[in-house]
Amino acid sequence: MLEVPPSDPGPISRAATHLDAFDWVICASARAVRALELARSRPWPAGVRTAAVGEATARALEALGVIPPPVVGPDAGADALWSTLADLDTWPGRRVLVLSTPGGRTTLVDGLRGAGAAVEVVDAYAMAARDAADIRDDWARARADAAVLASPRAAATLVAAVGREALAALRAVVAIGPTTARELAAMGIACVVPERAAFDAAAATLASLQTAEVAP
């Protein structure tokens, strides 16, 4: 998958300029935070609270100087974040900006709107699938023993290019987050999920699996 600008950059530009019009800003990924940073050249406005899907996204927001620190769910994924946010504020009438990507899950948006919040969803970036032939060529050259998949869309794109059997034959498949794991399970591909939704945690999981294989 390749990160590309949104088809219409106007909404992210306007939202970034007028963050003080919102009570909450919620970012679905670190990519969304980076897009917001690029579109905004001034300090974070006081009084605007933030929430993040995952620790990496929270760290990206903290680097922008948000106060107080972003709200993060107890586990990875939008479901865990909404379970935390649901009782954290009185949502009717709250103005909420959600920065996401086209085709992203609507768990947070549905929950917020159901609770009475006025939600504006803005595409901060888009993900474009690479050509399937290029993916197959890279896959053949890599001769991978394991794979790390960071999103349901990445999993579906890879399987569409190289086939389910290619992933099922690997020594290990690591899914970053339960949502990606569910996508893989639906395709009949066994996987493991690291304790945290982060690439360093995925690398540690792969290392532990390798250690377990060579242990006497």
3 state SS of 75: coil
Domain 2-127 carries which CATH code?
Answer: 3.40.50.10090
**Residue 124: burial class (beta carbons within 10 Å; 0-12, 13-18, 19+):** buried
Counting residues of the chain whose pLDDT is more than 70, the rounded percentage is: 97
pLDDT of residue 103: 76
Residue 85 has φ and ψ, to the nearest 5°, of -70, -30
pLDDT of residue 1: 66
Q: What digits encode the pLDDT tens for the residues 1-47?
A: 677 888 898 999 999 999 999 999 999 889 999 999 988 878 889 88
pLDDT of residue 163: 94
User: Which residues, 6 or more positions from 161, have their beta carbon under 8 angstroms from its beta carbon?
Assistant: 132, 135, 136, 139
Residue 101 has φ and ψ, to the nearest 5°, of -140, 150
Task: Give the domain 132-209 fold.
Answer: Rossmann fold (3.40.50)
Same fold, 2-127 and 132-209: yes
Q: List, in sequence order, every residue forming a beta bridge with 24; answer none if it has no partner.
A: 49, 96
pLDDT of residue 70: 96
At residue 102 the predicted structure's pLDDT band, cuts being 50, 70 and 90, is confident
For the whole model, what pTM was predicted? 0.72
pLDDT of residue 216: 54
Q: What digits encode the pLDDT tens for the residues 133-188?
A: 999 999 999 999 999 998 888 899 999 999 999 999 999 999 988 888 999 999 99
Q: What digits encode the pLDDT tens for the residues 41-62?
A: 788 898 899 999 988 899 999 9
Domain extents in the chain:
2-127, 132-209
